[in-house]
Amino acid sequence: MERLLEALSAKTGGVESWSLYTTESRKCSLGVKDREVGNSHAPMTLAESCGARYLFVWDDGRISRGFLERRQIDGDPVETIARARTAAYDDPDAAQVLGPAEFPEVHLHDPETAAAARGDTAWLRDRLARIRSVLAEPACRTWSGSFSAGETRARLATSEGLDVSGEGTSIGWHVTIDGEVGDGLRGRAPDGDDAFDARLAQLLDVARRLRDPADSAREGVLPIILHPAVVQEYALSTLLHHLDGATIAHGEGIFKSEHIGSGQALLREDLTLRVDPLEPLKSGSYRFTPDGLPAARCTYIEAGRLVEPVLDLKYARRLERRPTPVPYAMDVLHLEGPDRLSLSEAFSRAEGGALVLSVLGVHTQDNSNGDFSLSAPQVLQLRDGELRGRLRATISGNLFDVLRSDELQLVAFEGETTPGLLFPCRLDPT
């Protein structure tokens, strides 16, 4: 690493300016396959890795971007730089290297997680014991899962004098019951025992309900509730695509450059979308980006109006604006609006409709205008304010019509930062 930095500082090979973001990580992982812990398909693994992302701006104005593996970092720096030169290309807006800045202090490192990443199995033993107790036969036929803990040290150095480093941890688990329905959580520290037990109990309850087929299948425009997992997977990911600087700059979404700060409401006027990467121990929290931008809170949409897009350095320059914070994970992204309905109230208002637990085909949707037609293999009917039998269906409509509709309601789900969404939607059983 130091030899490469020395070569870059000497402008070896025609490098005019540069940015180098390096990471050193250790990780412990374990899998469970059909109740069997750590078999040949999912053994316990301890691994270490090292890598670096680079941006080189050459003396002719062209740039090179890429990733270096450990052997390239430890190898001949002249050869490494020469290879990067062969992949140079023109992209003036991306030829930006940042200098020193003030970076916020954000709590990203948890000692218990760090110990787990180094091979301490106390966390794994506790979680496995709890899962085995709850999912013992005959509660479910079988279950599979994955567990991991990691610790990473990152350093960012640039030719403009920026040199910042930090440490962070990550930990997560995921359990699938009967090979079909699953849930889990990821963060920088373990979830508490009560929260873990509650999430596991909810998962088992859903799995049990999905075993009973619906006694009848209504079709048409019905009140549906999207589970927070579906809101994240489809609704928020689609909204972020339209907020992305590249989408706006190319005129490919519903938000245009002239909408930024214009005061024109493009969504319902009580909806807000903001990001807060300063929250402690959240998966999406950080102190600095690999480009050198300090973490900061940011509101993208306020009162239905576009305040700021999601702008990296390249598209901030292209749109002649300042770059904005990036949402690296959904747990720091907040969709807010009117008071959230309780789950029981939402079930009552969605009488005759359904709760949609998962969808397929997100990557095939038309991102240009928000039209959707999604396969929903896990849907529970709502009858008399309660979840009833399971059906498979297709849901269809337009996401932005939903986000403008007066009928849209936010729904609180225990343990979830993202709300569920209640709205009328076309539902066709399959």
State the Cα–Cα distance between residues 109 and 380, nearest whole angstrom: 39
Q: Out of 208, 232, 248, pick the residue that ends a domain.
A: 208
Angle, helix 2-9 to helix 77-85, in steps of 10 degrees: 60
Cα dihedral 40, 27, 68, 23, rounded to 10, equals 170
Threshold 0.85, pTM exceeds: yes
The letter for the amino acid at 243 is L
DSSP string, 90-124: --GGG----------------HHHHHHHTT--HHH
- Residue 7 pLDDT grade (very low, low, confident, very high; cuts 50, 70, 90): confident
Q: Out of 178, 208, 238, pick the residue that ends a domain.
A: 208
Which range of residues forms the domain containing residue 266? 212-430
Rounded to 5°, the CA angle 136-39-34 comes to 35
Average pLDDT, the chain: 95
- Residue 1 pLDDT grade (very low, low, confident, very high; cuts 50, 70, 90): confident
Find the helix or strand (DSSP H, E) in which 240 lies. Answer: helix 237-243
* Three state DSSP letters for 130-186: HHHHHCCCCCCCCEEEEEEEEEEEEEEEECCCCEEEEEEEEEEEEEEECCCEEEEEE
- Residue 42 pLDDT grade (very low, low, confident, very high; cuts 50, 70, 90): confident
DSSP string, 190-220: PPPHHHHHHHHHHHHHHHHHHTSBPS----E
Strand pairing partners for 170?
150
- Residue 6 pLDDT grade (very low, low, confident, very high; cuts 50, 70, 90): confident
pLDDT digits (tens, 9 = 90+) for 249-273: 999 999 999 999 999 999 999 999 9
- CB distance 54 to 64 below 8 Å: yes
Read off the pLDDT of each residue in 402-406 and give the average, rounded to a whole number.
Answer: 97
Domain match, 200 and 221 both? no
Domain match, 201 and 136 both? yes
Domain match, 122 and 221 both? no
Domain match, 243 and 356 both? yes
- CB distance 203 to 135 below 8 Å: no
Q: Which pLDDT does position 368 carry in this prediction?
A: 86
Counting beta carbons within 10 angstroms of the beta carbon of residue 203, is it exposed (0 to 12), middle (13 to 18) or buried (19 or more)?
buried
Domain match, 157 and 220 both? no
CATH of residue 124's domain is 3.30.2290.10
State the Cα–Cα distance between residues 280 and 105, nearest whole angstrom: 10
DSSP string, 302-370: ETTEE---B--HHHHHHTTS-------SGGGEEEE-SPPBPHHHHHHHTTTSEEEEEEE-GGGS-TTT-
Domain match, 394 and 414 both? yes
Residues in the chain: 430
Read off the pLDDT of each residue in 57-79 and give the average, rounded to a whole number.
Answer: 92
- CB distance 44 to 147 below 8 Å: no
- How far from 183 is each of 169, 229, 324, 327, CA to CA, in Å? 21, 9, 31, 22
Read off the pLDDT of each residue in 394-403 and give the average, rounded to a whole number.
Answer: 97
Q: Which residue has 């398909």 as its token pair?
A: 41
Inform me whether the pLDDT recorded for 26 exceeds 90.
yes
Domain match, 254 and 395 both? yes
State the Cα–Cα distance between residues 425 and 151, nearest whole angstrom: 43
Q: Which pLDDT does position 235 carry in this prediction?
A: 97
3-state secondary structure of 401: helix
- CB distance 154 to 22 below 8 Å: yes
Domain match, 161 and 236 both? no
Inform me whether the pLDDT recorded for 74 exceeds 90.
no
How many domains does the chain divide into? 2
Inform me whether the pLDDT recorded for 23 exceeds 80.
yes
Domain match, 227 and 114 both? no
Terminal CA-to-CA distance of the chain, rounded, Å? 57
Q: Which pLDDT does position 4 carry in this prediction?
A: 87
Domain match, 392 and 266 both? yes
The letter for the amino acid at 223 is P
Inform me whether the pLDDT recorded for 366 exceeds 90.
no
The letter for the amino acid at 128 is L
Q: Which pLDDT does position 10 carry in this prediction?
A: 82
Domain match, 200 and 217 both? no
Domain match, 235 and 153 both? no
Q: Which pLDDT does position 2 carry in this prediction?
A: 82
Read off the pLDDT of each residue in 103-108 and give the average, rounded to a whole number.
Answer: 98
Q: Which pLDDT does position 389 carry in this prediction?
A: 92
Q: Which pLDDT does position 45 carry in this prediction?
A: 96
Token readout for 303 is 């009162």
Q: Which pLDDT does position 9 carry in this prediction?
A: 84
Q: Out of 166, 188, 208, pick the residue that ends a domain.
A: 208
pLDDT digits (tens, 9 = 90+) for 207-250: 999 999 988 878 999 999 999 999 999 999 999 999 999 999 99
pLDDT digits (tens, 9 = 90+) for 326-337: 999 999 999 999
